[in-house]
Amino acid sequence: MNVESKQIEETGLLIENMYHQSGMKILFLVSSLLLMPFANSQTPDEYSFSVPFGSRKEYSFSVPVGSGKGTSYAIQGSGRITGIRVWENYNGHITGIQLRYGYMWSEMAGYARGNVQEMLLYENEVIVQVAGKYTHNIQSLVFSTNMSRSLSAGQPSGHSFNMYPHTKKAELRFISGRQQNGITSIGAHWGVFTDHKNPQSLH
Ligand SMILES: *[C@@H]1O[C@H](CO)[C@@H](O)[C@H](O)[C@H]1NC(C)=O
């Protein structure tokens, strides 16, 4: 290889690197612009996540409660939440949570251990409140809908919490938190469901 072609090759690499880097910057800029209106000043980096499409209108975040030990989870899916399952172990705390989006059950947060409670939502029924009690783990959970129905699981002991959206129009879109032999924290993400491109996923 002569000097000239080596230089050309190096220049090519350099341009490719620059292109790559600027591409990343543009991508980063775009994603931060997209997320900016939905950023919550109370959100610590530890709880950073990307808000999926169809969840961004009137988005608000209820900051996680609990010790937050262990690894993080985020339950998200496409379409509207149509069902919920919560597992509780025999001496009290919440061990696992699963949400159904459209006809699909999500991956689990935590483990399918102990008793399971399940609630399927009706058409146009949405979750508007997540309450419960926590110590080290989430001890109990109550998911309430706008048809005045609720699912409750676990043993109520410890500190109370109560989460709901910032606007009346919003509904529960997804949850996130941490898990370690059970759910050690839970936070709630609220928004107005807007996926008009995919109406069959509503229910
Ligand atoms: C519950 O919320 C959904 C979605 O916003 C709405 O379509 C429905 O009318 C509400 N139902 C009641 C009983 O408020």
C-beta of 194 in contact with ligand 1 (< 6 A): no
| 178 Cα distance to chain centroid | 11
> Ligand 1 centre from 184 Cα, in Å?
31
pLDDT digits (tens, 9 = 90+) for 112-126: 999 999 999 999 999
Is 80 exceeded by the pLDDT of residue 62? yes
pLDDT digit string, tens, across residues 14-46? 434 443 444 433 333 333 334 443 433 334 434
pLDDT at 94 over 50: yes
Q: Is the pLDDT of residue 86 over 60?
A: yes
Radius of gyration of the chain (CA): 21
**Is pLDDT above 90 for 163?**
yes
Cα 191 to middle of ligand 1, angstroms: 13
- Residue 180 pLDDT exceeds 60: yes
Ligand 1 atom at minimal distance to the Cα of residue 145: 1
DSSP secondary structure letter of residue 41: T
Does ligand 1 come within 6 angstroms of the Cβ of 135? no
Q: How far is the CA of 124 from the centre of ligand 1 (A)?
A: 5
Q: What pLDDT score was predicted for residue 144?
A: 98
Residue pair 40/61 in contact (Cβ under 8 Å)? The answer is yes
Q: What is the pLDDT of residue 194?
A: 80
Whose Cα sits closest to atom 4 in ligand 1? 124
User: For the whole model, what pTM was predicted?
Assistant: 0.74
| Site of tokens 């699981």 | 153
Question: For residue 32, with 0-12 CB atoms within 10 Å meaning exposed, 13-18 middle and 19 or more buried, which class applies?
Answer: exposed
Using the predicted structure, report yes or no on whether residue 1 has a pLDDT greater than 50: no
- What residues contact residue 3 under an 8 Å CB cut-off, 6+ apart? none
* Ligand 1 atom at minimal distance to the Cα of residue 125: 1
Q: Is the dihedral of CA 32, 35, 38, 41 positive or negative?
A: negative
